[in-house]
Structure 1
C-alpha cells in the first residue's frame, strides 16, 4: 500500500464517443514548483492544510504528539542529541552539529563505497556454470544487473527465450538496488500498477523454493497512519479501491494499529489502513534469486561488462559493444540501466527522461520492541516510513520537501560510480529525522548505525518507463521512482511479454516509454517535473489537481486571449488548456458543488459553461488535440487493415473508429477524415498522440507505400458547439452550413472571416457544431472572429471541465478510463463502430469470436441516488453486498441533474433497472443502472 489514488483519466474519444477527463489547476496544501525555481518550504501539516510554510529547521508537524514531558528535552543520540524543546527550537547550528555527531564516521568523501555487509553486491561469475568470456551472440542482451534487469532475465527465460545475456558494468545490484530500503506496498495509483505489485508479492513468496536463493521476503503487512480528516478520507478511498482487487485492506482504529506496531506515538493519530499481505524484501537477495532462476534456464550473466555502444542499422538493433571484451550480436537490447538509463538510451539515439535523486534513510541500533514481524509503517503526514531491520534496528526514511537531484545534467553519473553511496546530507535529512522521532519516540535514544544516501531514478510524471522505443529491438525499463523493488516482479513479467509477444497483457500506457513528447528532451524540464514528483510523494492528490513545474510550456495561439478572459489553465502533455473561465462564474450554481474531494477543485463556471453550451453555444479551444496525417498510395488499404470501422469512404467523410490489438482490445479511439483519395487526417486525444503515432507506424509493413506524420503543431483547433452554432458560424462564413450541404460526420474547406479552415461537422458534447482547423498562425484571428460573432447570441468561452460533464450525460466513452486495450468494443458498447463484414483487420477474429458468446461484462451507466455524491473513478460497485465492478469514470451531468458513473458490470446486471451501490469514501450510495445515454438518446440534436 503506497500512494493515494488518482481520479480516473481518459483520452478524448471522438464523436460520437467520449473524452479524457480534464482537470483544474490549483493545488491544496502543496508546494509550488516553477521552472528553474526550488520548491518552497510548505508542508502538509496535521489538521492545518492552509498553514503557512514553516522554517526548514522546525519540525515538519505542528508540534509534539505525546505528553509534554516526553518532548521536554532534546532527542537523545550517541555523541549528542537534537530535537525541539518544549519552549521552542534550539540553536540551528547546535542542532545540526549534534545530528551529524549522532553517527560516528558519517562524514564521507565525495563518494563512499558501501561497506554495509547486507548491501554488498555479487559478481555474476558466482552464478554462471562455466566460462562466459566467449559469448558473441544472444537473442537478447539486458543491460543492467539490478533488480529490474534480473527480473526481466528471469521472465524472458521463463517464456522460452533461454539465449539471453544479462550484462552489468560492475557487480550485480551495484547501482541503486543495493541501497534500496526494500518496502513492498501493493495498492497503487492505477489498476495495472497495482496488479503488477500484486504479482510481485506472489512471485516473492515462491522464489526461495524455486531457486534455492532466499530473497528475504517478509510478509509482515503494512500500516499507513492518518492524522487528519483528509487523510482518513484518503484511507477510506484506498479501502474501497483495494476491495476491487480482492486485497484484504482494512481501516483500523489507532488502538488496533498500536497492537500491531506498539512503538508509534498515538497522539493525534485518527486511524490507519492495514494491508496484511504487504511487506519488505532484501533487495540484493531478491536480485540474486531472480538471477539464479534466469541462470538455471540458460541466461548467461556478465559482470564487469561496461557497454560502450549499441549498433543500430536501418533503425534496428544489431548488437552491443563493450569495454575490454568482444561485441555481442543481438536483435534485442533492454536498457535496465537505472540511473545510467539515459546514457544507455543515447547510445541508441533515444532520450530516457530519468532524473536521479539523492534518497536517504537511517539504520538504527537495536530498539526494544523491534522484531522481524513488525509491519512496515508509513506516516505520510510526516513524510516518513519505517521497517524492521535485521538485529532489531529500524530503517527510517522519507521524502523531503526539498529534494536533491543528482548528476541530472547532460553528462549524467560518471562511469566509475558503482557500488557506491553519496555523502550523508544531515541538514537535508533533519526535517525527516524530526518526523521520525515524532512518530517513534524510542528513536530519540537509539544510536544510528549508518546514514544511507544513494541515488534513485525518478521520472517527470512519477510513473515507470517501460516498453519499446522508436528503434526496433531497443526496449527500456527504468525510472522506478523508489518503488522498483516492489514492482520488480511485475516489471519483469510485463517487459518479457512485450519483448516476446509484442504487447503485455496489461494496459500499461501510463508507463509506456513513448508517452513522453519531445519537450522531455530538456534536462531542466525533466528535472523540474521530477523534483515536484519527489517532493509531493506523500501528499494527498486531489482530483482536478494540477502540477505546476515547468509551466507554461506549450501554448495555443489563443493563450494570452484566454488568460485575459480569466481562464483557469490545466496542463496535458505540456499543453496549457483552459479548464474553465472565471468570467463565467455564477454563484447561483454554488448549491451544485459536489461533496468532498470532488468539490475541492471546482468552480460554478463549470455548470454555467455546460448549460450555456446546451442552451446556446460554447466556444472551446482544442488546439492541443493530436493530429496525424496518413498519406500515400496505400493510405486507404493500410487504414482499412488497422481500423475496426470502414474508412474506405468518399473524400469529405468523417469516420469514428477504434484501432484494435490482436485480442480485440481498444488501442486507440479516434476519427479518420478522408481529405482526398490518398490522404487522411486522424484526430485523437492530447496526451495520446505519441501512443497512437507509434501504434499506427508499428502496424505498417515494409511493402506499404504510406507516410504517417504528426501534424499537431501545424493546425489549431476551435470547436463551436450548441443549438445556436449554425447561426453563429453562418454569420461569419459564406459557406452553406445546411444539413443537406454539410451533413453530420462530414468535412469541407471553408473560410471564416478571412481565415481558411478545415471544418469537420462532428461533436464531442452531444450538440450541433463544428470543429475548425486553421493553420496554426490563424488560430488567434479565428478565435476573435467567432467570439465576436457569438456574443450577441449568448455564446460563452468554455473549458474542458464542461466538456467532461457534457460527454458523461451523452454517454461518450473516455479512452484510458472507460475503454482500454483490455476491453473490446462489444464490452464497451461500441459494436456499432465495428464492421466485421468489411474484410480483414487487426482484431477482427477476436471480436467475431466475442460476438458469438456472452462477453461476461459490459460498460454500464449508473445514476447515483445523491446527485452531489460524485464517483471519481476506481470506486467499488456492489450488488447484494458483493463487489461486482469498479467505476471507470464519473461526474455530474448538469442538464439531467444527476451524478453519473460508468462501470463494467456482469452482463446480468448491466441493463437498466438493476439496483446497486457505489462506495464513495466509505459510504455506500444507492445507484441504479440507467439507459445509456441519459441525454438525447436518439441523437436528434447532433443532426439538427
Structure 2
C-alpha cells in the first residue's frame, strides 16, 4: 500500500458554514481544482452577479491534482481545441496583477527522428493558425537557446518564445478571489452526500451538512472523483478515464539556471525539463506505466471511485517506473549528474482514453456537464476550459474559440467500453505512454481490443483482414494479398505511404471500376416507431421526412442556432415506423437527441430502439454491382424494383431475406443490404462466390475516406460540428426551409440565409502537383495543413487523403473569411494553395497549388449512383 499525505491548509477565508449555503443556484460546480475554480471565475465574469454560482470542494481548493502540477504553459499542441484552451491560459494568467508565478520562459520542443520532426512541424501549423509565433531551430540554435543540453542526435526543434510557467496554486487562488468578488460562492470542506435526479435532469444536491441545494445546471470538475459522482447520478461508470500517476524530480541548484531558460520537451526520450528555483525539474511520461501502478490505484480504477478523505496525496517514488526515462534526461543534461535530488514527487493524475480532455453535457441528461481527464495539461488548459464550460452553460456550445470541441466531447466513446474499468485503465495508460511520441495516420492501439466484433468477423479473418478499431468495432483495415502469409507481411506505421496505402488504392479502384463488397455493419441503426414518430422526426430533422413508405431521406439534425449535430438517412418503413442509419460514431448522440425531443414534447407513444448489434450490413458497390446482385436474385431487375433513394424489404438474395437500401456512401451504383445477423454469413458467402461476377472484398478506412471525399460526403467530427451551420457545410438541399413545417434550428437558418451570404463554408480541394514527389508528402489531413487564398490564411484541411481516380491528394476544408462572402466569384478569383511540410524536410513547407470548388470533385451530377456509366463523370 502507498502512503497518503493528508495536509489540510487553512481555508483562506472561504465559507464552510451550512447557514451560508444558498438554497437555490443557477449553476453548481463540483471540484475546487483549477478547472472548477476557472469555471466559477469565467461564468461569473460572463453572466454577472444575477447568475447564482456555488462551487463545492470536499477538501480544500487545489488539494487534488492542482497543488502538485508542474505549472507548464505551452500552446504547441497536436489537438486544436487543447491549443485554443492553452492560448486562453496564456492570455489570462499574464493579466493578473498579483504574483501568480508567471514567467515567460519560452518552450523548446526537440525531435530526434525524421518523423518526430515532421510531427512538430504539423503541430506548428495549429500554432500558426492561432497566431502563435514560433522559431524553427537546428542543433546549434538549440544549444544557444539552452546551453545545458547535449544536442547529439537532435534532428531539430521548435522554439515558442511566448510560453511560460506559472504557480498552479497561486493562479487558482487568484481566479477564486475574482470569482468570489463577482458573486460566486466557494465552499471548502463541503462534500456532496447525494444527487437528486428526475429523468433527464439533476434537480438538487444534498451536502454533507444536510443542506439541500437546488440547481439549474451542474458541472462536475472533480478530477479522479468525477467517476464516483457521475455514478451517484445513476448513470453508471460512463466516464472513460483512469488515474495514472505522474512523476517528476526536482534537482538541486545549478549555477546559471534561471527562468530565462525555456521548458524543454524531448519527444523521443519522453521527458520535460523545467527551470525550478535555480535548478531543474524533470518529469517523465513512461511507456507501459500500468505495470508499476500502486495497488490502491488499481483498486481505485477498478471501482471507479476515489476515497473522499484524501487530499494533497502523493505516492512513493518509483525508480522502476521512471528510471529509464530519467537516465535519458541525465544524458541530455549532463550537469544533472553533478547535483543531488531535492524532491521527488509522484502524484495522481486523471487521464482520458485518448489524450484529449473529457468535456460537455452527459448523454441521458439535460443539465449535467463534465470537465475532467486533462492528461497532465490541466493548468495549461484551466482558464480555457473554464471559459468553454461557461459558454456551454450560457450559449449551448463554446463560441469564443477558433475551433470546435468534438475532440473533447465526453460522448465520443462507445458507452460499453467507457463503462469497462479494465478497458479504461489499459487505454488511458497506453495513451499516457505515447503522449510524447509520433501519432501516425490511422494509428491503432493495443489495449482493449476485440471487445466489439462484427457478425462476420471470422469471415474477414479468413480472407486475410488486418483490423483497425473504431468506436469499439474491429473493422477490416485492409486485406492481405492472397498469396502472402500474415507473418510475411508485417504491418507498419508511417507518416507517408505504407503497405495499407497500396491496398487502399487497389480497393478504391475495385469499387470505381468493378464491384466491391464493404462490411458496413458498424453503421448505427435505430428504429423509431409508434404514435407520433413521424411528427417527432419532422421536428428534429432538417429534411422533409413525410414521404411515401419505402422512401430514403438524407437529413441533418440541428440545434436551435442551426448548428449541425448529426447527419443520417431515414427510411420510412410504415406509417409510424422509421429506420435510421448513420456512421458508427453518431447513434448515441442521435438517440439522446430523440429522447430529449420526446420528453420535451411529451410524446409518450414513441419508442426508440437501437438495433445496431442485431443487423449486419453488406454494401455492394460499383459498376457491376447490379449485375452481380441480380444473378443472386433470379434475374430481378433492380433498377426498376428499387429506384435511387428507395428501400425494399424482403428482397431475396442468395436465399436470404434482406432489407435493401439504394443509397451509397461511396457514390456508386449499388445496394446496402441489411440482414439479421443470423443470416449474414449465408448472404456473404453467396455474394462472394455464388454470383455471376466475383467481387473484391474491400474495407480500408482510408479507401472509404478517399471515396467519400471525392463525392463530398461528410463525416461528423472532421467536416462538421455544432459550430458549423447546416448551410455552411453545404446541406441546404437537405432542409425544408421553403415549407410551412417547423423544425429545430429553422428560424436561425432562415436568418442566416437572408443575411446575404456565407462567410464560412466547406469547400473541396484538389492538389495540382504533378512535379511533387508524393512519397515525401505526409498523409494529407493528418497534420492540420494550412490553406491559403491569395497568401492569406483562411483555413486548414478538415478531411484529406489520396484520390485514385484523380491520382492526386484531395481534401475538404472549412474556409472562414470575416471580410468577404464566400461565393462563386470568391472561389474562382482566388489563388489557392496548401502548405505541406514534407517528411524530414528543412522546415520550409511545400506550397501546393489546389483547385477549389463548392461542389464535389467526382461525378458532380451523381450519374453513377443512377447506373449511368456512359460518359466521363469526373469533374475537370
**TM-score, length basis structure 2:** 0.89
From 515, 535, 553, the counterpart of 1:617: 515
- Quote the residue 1:504 is aligned against: 398
Query: 1:582-634: CA deviations, max 9, x gaps?
Result: 13799xxxxxx999723136342211111111111000101111112222222
Of stretches 167-176 and 275-284 in structure 1, the one that deviates more from structure 2 is: 275-284
- 1-side partners of 2:138 and 2:31: how far apart? 44
Aligned-pair CA distance for 1:339: 1.1
Determine helix, strand or coil for the equivalent of 1:497: helix
SS in structure 1 of the partner of residue 616 of structure 2: coil
State the secondary structure of the residue aligned to 2:641: coil
Give the alignment partner of residue 898 of structure 1, picking from 791, 808, 821: 808
What is the rounded CA distance, in whole Å, between the counterparts of 1:777 and 1:459 in structure 2? 36
Shift of 1:134: 4.6
Partner of residue 419, structure 1: 312
Post-superposition offset of 1:693? 2.1
- Matching of residues 712-751 of structure 1 within 5 Å: 712-734=612-634, 736-749=636-649, 750-751=651-652
Pair 650,533 (structure 1): closer, same or farther in 2 beyond 3 Å: same
Aligned to 1:559, which of 438, 441, 457?
457
Match of 1:468 in 2: 361
CA deviations 1:277-305 (Å, max 9, x no partner) are 22222111121112112111222221111
- Does structure 2 retain, via aligned residues, the 8 Å contact 1:715–1:774? yes
- Is 1:807 the counterpart of 2:712? The answer is no
Query: Aligned pair in 2 of structure 1 residues 842, 250: CA closer, same or farther (>3 Å)?
Result: farther
Q: Secondary structure at the match of 2:628?
A: helix
Q: Is 1:178–1:283's contact at 8 Å kept on the other side of the alignment?
A: yes
2:373 to 479, 485, 493: 479
Greater displacement, 173-182 / 793-802: 793-802
In structure 2, the residue matched to 1:275 is: 160
Query: For each residue in 1:126-145, what CA deviation from the matched residue of structure 2 results, as whole angstroms up to 9, or x when unmatched?
Result: 14599864544333322211
Distance change in 2, residues 1:367/1:138 (3 Å): same
What is the distance in 1 between the residues matched to 2:10 and 2:550?
64
Pairs within 5 Å for 1:503-582 = 503-505=397-399, 507-516=404-413, 517-582=415-480
Task: Tell me whether 1:843 sits opposite 2:745 in the alignment.
Answer: yes
In the TM superposition, what whole-angstrom CA distance separates every residue of 1:808-836 from its partner, at most 9, and x where no partner exists?
Answer: 22232222212222222332233222221
Which deviates more, 641-650 or 240-249? Answer: 240-249
C-alpha distance in structure 2 between counterparts of 1:320 and 1:450, whole Å: 40
Number of residues of Structure 1 aligned to a counterpart in Structure 2: 820
8 Å Cα contact 1:573/1:687 also seen in 2: yes
CA–CA distance in structure 2, aligned partners of residues 233 and 129 of structure 1? 52
Whole-angstrom CA distance in 1 between matches of 2:669 and 2:482 = 22
Match of 1:255 among 131, 140, 143: 140
Structure 2, unaligned runs of 5 or more: 485-490, 838-843, 868-876
CA distance in 1, matches of 2:99, 2:615: 58
Distance 1:665 1:790, change over 3 A: farther
Output aligned runs, 1:663-682, within 5 Å: 663-682=561-580
> Which secondary structure state, in structure 2, belongs to the residue aligned with residue 311 of structure 1?
strand
Separation in structure 1 between the aligned mates of residue 78 and residue 692 of structure 2, nearest angstrom: 43
Q: Which moved more, 1:662-671 or 1:849-858?
A: 849-858
| Structure 1 counterpart of 2:865 | 942
Does residue 881 (structure 1) correspond to residue 791 (structure 2)? The answer is: yes
2:628 equivalent to 1:628: no
Q: Name which of structure 1's ranges 779-788 and 866-875 shifts more when overlaid on structure 2.
A: 866-875
**Residue 871 of structure 1, CA deviation:** 2.0
**1:913-932 Cα deviation digits (max 9, x unpaired):** 74322111142232232443
Work out whether residues 765 and 810 of structure 1, in 8 Å CA contact, stay in contact via their aligned partners in 2: yes
Pick closer, same or farther for the CA change 1:180–1:585 going to 2, 3 Å. farther
Tell me the distance in 1 between the aligned counterparts of 2:398 and 2:597.
16
Match of 1:94 in 2: none
What is the CA-CA distance between 1:745 and the residue it aligns to?
0.5
1:912–1:929 CA contact under 8 A, matched in 2: no
- The answer for the alignment partner of 2:193 in structure 1 is 308
**1:205 and 2:94 correspond:** yes
Equivalent-residue separation in structure 2 for 1:648 and 1:349 (angstroms): 37
The answer on whether the counterparts of 2:285 and 2:433 sit within 8 Å (CA) in structure 1 is yes
For the structure 1 residues 657 and 471, does the alpha-carbon distance in structure 2 shift closer, same or farther, using more than 3 Å as the test?
Answer: closer
In the other structure, the counterpart of 1:194 is 83
1:872 to 758, 781, 785: 781
SS at match of 1:225: strand
Q: Secondary structure at the match of 1:216?
A: coil
Unaligned segments of structure 1, at least 5 residues = 1-108, 115-119, 587-592
- Within 2, Cα distance between the matches of 1:132 and 1:154? 23
Distance 2:25 2:493 in 1: 58
Question: Could you tell me whether the CA contact under 8 Å between 2:76 and 2:124 is conserved in 1?
Answer: no
**2:846: which partner in 1?**
924
2:104 to 192, 195, 219: 219
Shift of 1:542: 0.9
Change (3 A) 1:871 1:595: farther
Change (3 A) 1:437 1:353: same
| Aligned residue number for residue 597 of structure 1 | 495
Given the superposition, is the C-alpha separation of residues 490 and 436 from structure 1 closer, same or farther in structure 2, using an over 3 Å criterion?
Answer: same
What do residues 235-262 of structure 1 show as CA deviations (whole Å, max 9, x unaligned)? 2222233222222122122222223222
1:771 and 1:150 mapped to 2: Cα distance?
A: 51
Instruction: Report the secondary structure of 1:608's partner residue.
Output: helix
